[in-house]
Amino acid sequence: MPPRQAHSAPRVGGAAKLQALQRAILTLGFVRPGSLVRRYMACGNRSCRCMARPPRLHGPYYQWTYKVAGKTKTVRLSEGQAQLCREWLRNHKQLKRLVRHMEQLSLRETDRILGAISRQ
């Protein structure tokens, strides 16, 4: 758990929070949507180890899946490719999180700004 500073630290204004989010976005590298799946499979050959008891499955195999226009696209990846993808996928998740925070902050701040302007 991170140290708690909520009570001692000075209140950070909306503009400073917005700048912090913008800076965080600038540090991100490639952002790749979709998700990575690691799977083990049986080949179906009766004499193979994957059909033994207990089974020893083949793999790991890596797949990147991504939804395009409602359809799921699947691409097989090597272990090296999967390693690279992991960081890009993490960056994409982080970007979405930052954008969500930016929206929440902006809603709050713009409501405040609009509220401060008296209606005609």
Task: Give the footprint of Zn ion on this chain (CB under 5 A).
Answer: 43, 48, 50
Question: Which residue's CB is nearer to Zn ion, number 37 or number 50?
Answer: 50
Instruction: State the minimum distance, in angstroms, from the CB of residue 43 to Zn ion.
Output: 3
* C-alpha atoms less than 13 angstroms from C-alpha of 82 in its C-beta half-sphere: 16
The nearer residue to Zn ion, 76 or 112, going by C-beta atoms, is 76
> Nearest distance from residue 56's CB to Zn ion, in Å?
8
Q: Which class for 64: exposed (0-12), middle (13-18), buried (19 or more C-beta within 10 A)?
A: buried
Q: How far is the CB of 57 from Zn ion (least distance, A)?
A: 8
Q: How far is CA 1 from the centre of its chain?
A: 22
